[in-house]
């Protein structure tokens, strides 16, 4: 049966909701169909900080992440309901490093000062980024989407033809679900496990990636997210106790503030990784599908920039 909406979006993660809000703000009517809705999507597991991690191609990622940061800074300044906040961010390295590849995406950055380097680290970057408290932010995105007139229907799609029959313009934001829906084996899971712990006095975001893997400290509004794991092609969505122990060991090595952690919760999500984000139009089943998936470890960081490009493709299709 045909819907009466201008666009049908598949997926209610950060990608689908951001696209939906951008379209609604341009005056288009939008329905989302999603198998899972917040707080039960991969997006809900993220920390989530602005940080272009595990995403390609880099030239486009710089533009998308810069545009996204502009949106997020505005939310942090103007709307406390959004759960967005500016934080100092430090990325640590065991070797001296040159300019970060994402330098053009931030207003300014500097190398870390000696007293900002934990034992074993010789270099680092400091910049100010927006952190989204994902629980608050995802709820806020749903609220903004529905307040603007968007409709969310819980519905799984097994083939695009189901969606194309309902609406001639379908926007595919199904993340890892695109592996099956598009038959796209280039999308694969990168398993992330994170520990949610009680807040302490530590207020900066710290990230490092060494031979022993990714470490992350992200203090949010009511808790601190500690990470993490980056396990490619691991489909396990259960908590792994050994991963938890390793995460706690790694963050304790970063700061004595985390030698004795009060664990509140442990979560697992599968990042929708791809050699490059797929953002393009495809003619299909008598309709048009605009793909927007494969954001890897940066779905939040790329969200608004990608949504702007989806809007441009959508308006091109309408013409
Ligand atoms: C531990 C962890 C930490 C992370 N930290 C960060 C971070 O700090 N910053 C950052 O930018 N990113 C981070 N990420 C990555 C980020 O979470 C993802 O890139 C992002 O969530 C992808 O969003 P999405 O909307 O594309 O996909 P998802 O959130 O997976 O949403 C996909 C949607 O599509 C729906 N769907 C799937 N298949 C179908 C189907 N067949 N029919 C209907 N609906 C379907 C799903 O139900 C869901 O609603 C992290 C990820 C993890 C796991």
pLDDT in tens, 151-182: 999 999 999 999 999 999 999 999 999 999 99
- Name the residue of 9, 10, 11, 193 whose CB sits within 8 Å of the most ligand 1 atoms, as the mutation to test its pocket: 11
Residue 277 Cβ < 6 Å to ligand 1: no
Is residue 298 one of the residues assigned to a domain?
Answer: yes
Judge whether 106 and 301 are in contact, CB under 8 Å.
Answer: no
Q: How would residue 233 be classed by pLDDT, with cut points 50, 70 and 90?
A: very high
Is residue 2 one of the residues assigned to a domain?
Answer: no
Is residue 167 one of the residues assigned to a domain?
Answer: yes
Is residue 163 one of the residues assigned to a domain?
Answer: yes
Q: How far apart are CA 232 and CA 250, in angstroms?
A: 20
Q: Is 59 exposed, middle or buried (0-12, 13-18, 19+ CB in 10 A)?
A: exposed
Range of the domain at 287: 7-318
Per DSSP bridges, beta strands 287-293 and 169-172 are parallel
Residues 6+ apart with CB under 8 A from 243: 193, 229
Residues 6+ apart with CB under 8 A from 145: 17, 20, 21, 24, 30, 32, 152
Distance 294 CA to ligand 1 centre (A): 9
Distance 271 CA to ligand 1 centre (A): 6
Q: What does pTM read for this prediction?
A: 0.97
CATH number at residue 94: 3.40.50.720
Number of domains in the chain: 1
Is residue 314 one of the residues assigned to a domain?
Answer: yes
Measured at the CA of 211, the angle between CA 197 and CA 130, to 5 degrees, comes to 45
Q: How far apart are CA 63 and CA 37, in angstroms?
A: 28
Is residue 133 one of the residues assigned to a domain?
Answer: yes
Q: How far apart are CA 221 and CA 264, in angstroms?
A: 14
Is residue 295 one of the residues assigned to a domain?
Answer: yes
Task: Give me the residue label for tokens 């990042």.
Answer: 271
Q: Does residue 297 surpass a pLDDT of 90?
A: yes
**pLDDT digits 0-9 by tens, 56-115:** 999 999 999 999 999 999 999 999 999 999 999 999 999 999 999 999 999 999 999 999
Is residue 1 one of the residues assigned to a domain?
Answer: no
Distance 97 CA to ligand 1 centre (A): 30
């Amino acid at each position: 049966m045909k819907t009466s909406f201008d666009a049908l979006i598949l997926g209610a993660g950060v990608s689908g909701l951001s696209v939906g809000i951008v379209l609604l703000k341009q005056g288009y009517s939008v329905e989302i169909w999603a198998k899972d809705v917040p707080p039960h999507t991969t997006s809900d597991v993220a920390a989530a900080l602005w940080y272009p991690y595990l995403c390609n191609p880099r030239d486009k990622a710089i533009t998308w992440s810069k545009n996204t940061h502009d949106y997020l800074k505005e939310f942090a300044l103007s709307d406390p309901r959004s759960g967005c906040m500016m934080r100092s961010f430090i990325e640590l390295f065991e070797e001296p490093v040159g300019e970060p590849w994402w330098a053009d995406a931030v207003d300014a950055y500097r190398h870390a000062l000696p007293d900002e380097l934990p034992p074993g680290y010789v270099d680092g970057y400091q910049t100010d980024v927006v952190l989204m408290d994902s629980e608050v932010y995802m709820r806020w995105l749903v609220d903004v989407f529905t307040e603007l007139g968007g409709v969310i229907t819980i519905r799984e799609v097994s083939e695009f033809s189901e969606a194309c029959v309902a609406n001639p313009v379908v926007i595919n934001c199904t993340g890892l679900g695109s592996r099956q829906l598009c038959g796209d084996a280039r999308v694969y899971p990168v398993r992330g496990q994170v520990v949610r712990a009680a807040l302490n006095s530590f207020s900066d975001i710290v990230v490092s990636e060494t031979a022993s893997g990714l470490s992350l400290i992200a203090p949010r509004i009511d808790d601190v997210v500690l990470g993490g794991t980056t396990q490619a092609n691991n489909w396990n969505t259960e908590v792994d106790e050994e991963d938890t122990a390793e995460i706690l060991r790694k963050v304790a090595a970063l700061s004595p503030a985390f030698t004795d952690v009060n664990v509140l919760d442990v979560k697992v999500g599968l990042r929708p990784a791809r050699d490059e984000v797929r953002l393009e139009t495809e003619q299909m089943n008598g309709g048009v599908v605009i793909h927007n998936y494969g954001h890897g470890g940066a779905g939040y960081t790329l969200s608004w920039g990608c949504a702007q490009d989806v809007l441009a493709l959508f308006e091109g299709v309408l013409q």
